Amino acid sequence: MDMQSLSGGFTNPPQDSSRAFRAALETLARPGTIHDISGAKAPAPVSEAAATLILTLCDPETPIYLAGAHDTQDIRDWVAFHIGAPIVGPERAMFALGIWEALSPITAFPIGTPEYPDRSTTVIVEMEALRQDGMRLSGPGIKDSALLALPDLAPFQMNAGLFPLGLDFYFTAGTRLAGLPRTTRVSDLMEAN
Amino acid sequence: MSDYNFAYLDEQTKRMIRRAILKGIAIPGYQVPFASREMPMPYGWGTGGVQVTAACLTPEDTLKVIDQGADDTTNAVSIRKFFEKTAEIAVTEKTGDATVIQTRHRIPEEPLGEGQILVYQVPIPEPLRFLEPRETETRKMHALEEYGLMHVKLYEDIARHGHIATSYAYPVKVEGRYVMDPSPIPKFDNPKMDMAAIQLFGAGREQRIYAVPPYTKVVSLDFEDHPFDPSKADHPCDLCGAEHTYLDEVIIDDDGGRMFVCSDTDYCAGRQAKGHRGRLSPTEEAAQ
Amino acid sequence: MYVAVKGGERAIDNAHAWLAEERRGDPSVAELSVAQIREQLALAVNRVMTEGSLYDPDLAALAIKQARGDLIEAIFLIRAYRTTLPRIGHSRPVETETMLCDRRISATFKDVPGGQVLGPTFDYTHRLLDFKLAADGEAMAAQMAAPRLESTPHVTEFLNKEGLIQTEDRSEDTPPDLTREPMELPANRALRLQALARGDEGFVLSMAYSTQRGYGNSHAFVGELRIGKVAVELDIPELGFAIEIGEVELTECETVNKFAGSKIEPPQFTRGYGLTFGQTERKAISMALVDRALRSKELGVEMSNSPAHDEEFVLYHCDNIQATGFLEHIKLPHYVDFQSEMELVRKMRAEIFAAQHKEAAE
């Protein structure tokens, strides 16, 4: 096991994770907002935001799917040492991590059941950057409308159409975090105008 | 206080609660099952709310705790002290200064804003429980969006009493999908639930967490010919003169004399500080 | 002027001080030590450990002392303490066949391999108040036989060899843990047993009793009841094998129940199972009866609407910490809700009186 896999945890876990959770809560409760989230460092290419998010939310009870370039031995070792979560395929994942192209098609992830719609995957999409432009968002958590650059359009519209089932998303870049719950309706800014 | 982890709960418990809160936010009004822990206070004293608050608090937070709208009621004092001791966070009685507010039975009168979280203590999270005692059945009813039974019950009330005979814990529909119990707040508070703050609901004994994100549609169930009526005592506050607040009725003498005062003590004190006076305000008595 | 409940903080401090004084009682009477409670009120300690889901006689005795003898309050203290403890690992299933039995009886056979061992039981005592104890509680040492070294086979296994009782398949599945995951229904048997083991002794007893009185009849025989110590082993991943970390005293009860059989299956007995900490045999037997009653659906026998057959009813109401909390919380102020009820009642009364008045006038 690489030394890098043993480092990169929180300095003060209770305090660091409490701040990280609040960023995760705020971004999911207010789609279109972007918050800073930091404190954990995982091997490349995992962003600091994504590392902090999974360290805050995941443990041995949450199977994780590592997609594409995020599925390396170094990252598996880091997850094993800091989180202890089992690494699984997309169909059993409670959390998924990767870039959009590697995560797609997102139809492989559980979307919950009518009795338990909460039993669905939370997908963490690593991005080049997060920007408040591109797509128009509306729905719970948004006063009138908000803007957020998304890596795609149709899959998010389809996902919102599944409500109350569906996937919930986080977008990460560097130390930046944005959220997109299944309730958010997404439209192309160009079309909307 | 090094005997306990920050905010009392261990980190694994907090992660589990945090995951439930996030799924609750993603599915407004849906009750997310969670493995509620025994807390050092009894079930029914706000264990669900306390666990949600513990999972949300950061060292930078300022906490307000109210019971029946008041900061000074015994259970509010006890919960506030618990978090002062275990999380060493700042506490306040001022609604506007608080970042996290834990409440039993009321929503503060002062509108809540972005950057605030309102945590409700919930005894029975299932709005259909008194119509159907079985969890397996009510879960199916929510899954199928089968809420006919609730409308029948409300309509039977109207047929029998001329009114919907529910005055608190009045059911609401969230974002057009889930029927939700708003916790035992008086129905006067229901219209406030469409707010800018995040609302989280914790039911410890019943092991459920649910949420209403900011700016989410919360509609009290009603009928076209019997629209929802958020009524309150038909008096102004005897201490601050407010005519738009929820009032407690207080018996003030052996002959059954009454006074009406704001249930939200912080709001009432704020108004009095600004010079508002009511029928029984001390200064007015002195002047007479 | 009287204004609501004020001065909450001072009231709480004063109440706690008074409570502490009442707990101590008359200071001219010697104080109870935790060791005295542990040694001389051992059955209370056992109950607190069982329903508190924590095996620690000293802590249970401390909880009883702090709770002034209120066992539900003591169970609550233990549960609240337990929930803060980190999970270091999971023990292997204990092997009760290797139990060093202090007591071991079977009601289904006159004698069995390993013998009938009465042990320290109230069963055949005459319930006459022993006024000697008021003055002098010293007891003569009991005569001890040499301990049995070989393991003691389970009585139901003799029936199983003959095919007379249903075989319980071994499962390698990790049992669910309702202290870590929310209860989900329908529950599997492991989860039901956990809930019953933690459940209130009185509640589980009454549920079991109701099955004996005809509410979901599944006549039970005590196939075997055994009490004694077993070793607890923990897998150490770094070592690659399990090591013994201590021993616990357990009560285990297995009941044998009738089963008429079906068109395709020959008649066979069925089983109920109870396992509790310490010597707590009333609870273990009750648990076995209720376990068996809750299995009626999976065994395809005696379906009924009896309370003890109703998994949801039993599992959601057996926990005394949940029950007492919710019951007692109605002592907390509810005046905001009550106010809204008063408003509504007044309004409805006023409308009726107005209507009557109008009718009378017409």
Mind listing the pLDDT tens digit for each residue in A36-70? 999 999 999 999 999 999 999 999 999 999 999 99
Question: Which among C89, C262, C43, C248 is positioned nearest to C166, based on CA atoms?
Answer: C262
Domain around C49? 13-82
Greatest CA separation for chain A: 53
Q: Is residue C124 part of a domain?
A: no
ipTM of the complex model = 0.97
CA distances from C197 to A127, B37, B203 (A): 50, 17, 24
Q: Is residue C8 part of a domain?
A: no
Q: Using a CB-CB distance cutoff of 8 angstroms, which residues of chain C are in contact with residue B8?
A: 84
Q: What is the per-residue pLDDT for B38?
A: 87
Q: Is residue C346 part of a domain?
A: yes
Greatest CA separation for chain C: 98
Residues C157 and C193 in one domain: yes
> For residues C181-203, b (16+ Cβ closer than 10 Å) or e, as one string?
ebbeeebeeebbbbbbbbbbbeb
Mean pLDDT (whole number) for B33-55:
93
Q: Known catalytic residue: B262? A: yes
CA distance B18 to B31: 14
Residues C156 and C218 in one domain: yes
H or E element at residue C82: helix C71-82
Question: B215 vs A143: CB contact, 8 Å cut-off?
Answer: yes
Query: Is the distance from CB of B55 to CB of A57 less than 8 angstroms?
Result: no
pLDDT surpasses 80 at C119: yes
Which residue stretches of chain B are H helix? 11-26, 47-56, 74-87, 135-143, 148-161, 265-273, 282-287
Among the partner residues A57, A163, A182, nearest to B18 by beta-carbon distance: A57
Residue B191 near chain A (CB below 8 Å): no
Count of structural domains, chain C: 3
C50's CB contacts (< 8 A; 6+ apart) are: C197, C198, C201, C276, C277, C278, C280, C283
Read off the pLDDT band of A2 (50, 70, 90).
low
Domain around A182? 3-192
Gap from B276 CA to chain A (nearest CA, Å): 33
Neighbours of B226 (CB within 10 A): 14
Average model confidence (pLDDT) across chain A: 95
Q: Any idea what the CATH number is for the domain that residue A123 is in?
A: 3.40.50.11310
Structure token pair of residue C86:
């980190």
Q: What is the per-residue pLDDT for B271?
A: 97
pLDDT surpasses 60 at A192: no
CATH tag, B11-220: 3.40.50.11310
Residues C72 and C114 in one domain: no
The highest-confidence range among B130-144, C187-201, C264-278, by mean pLDDT, is C187-201
Question: C83 vs B38: CB contact, 8 Å cut-off?
Answer: yes
Q: What is the per-residue pLDDT for B288?
A: 43
Mutate to test the interface with A, among B4, B195, B215, B217 (most CBs of A within 10 A): B215
Residues C348 and C299 in one domain: no
Q: Is residue C137 part of a domain?
A: no
CA distance B228 to B182: 15
Chain B to chain C, count of Cβ pairs less than 8 Å apart? Answer: 158
Residues C229 and C300 in one domain: yes
Question: Which among A186, A10, A157, A22 is positioned nearest to B55, based on CA atoms?
Answer: A22
Residues C104 and C184 in one domain: yes
Q: What is the per-residue pLDDT for B3?
A: 67
> Phi, psi (5° rounding) for residue A37?
-145, 125
CA distance C41 to B156: 56
pLDDT surpasses 70 at B95: yes
Residues C189 and C74 in one domain: no
Give the nearest chain C residue to B165 (CA atoms): C344
Count of structural domains, chain A: 1
Query: Could you tell me what percentage of chain A is helix, strand and coil, using 3-state DSSP and rounding each to the nearest 5?
Result: 35, 20, 45
Residues C77 and C156 in one domain: no
Among B46, B48, B241, B262, the active-site one is B262
Mean pLDDT (whole number) for A119-142:
97
Read off the pLDDT band of B1 (50, 70, 90).
very low
Residues in chain A: 193
pLDDT tens-place string over residues B226-261: 999 998 778 999 999 999 999 998 888 888 888 999
Residues C310 and C343 in one domain: no
**3-class SS at C37?**
helix
> Phi, psi (5° rounding) for residue A65?
-105, 125
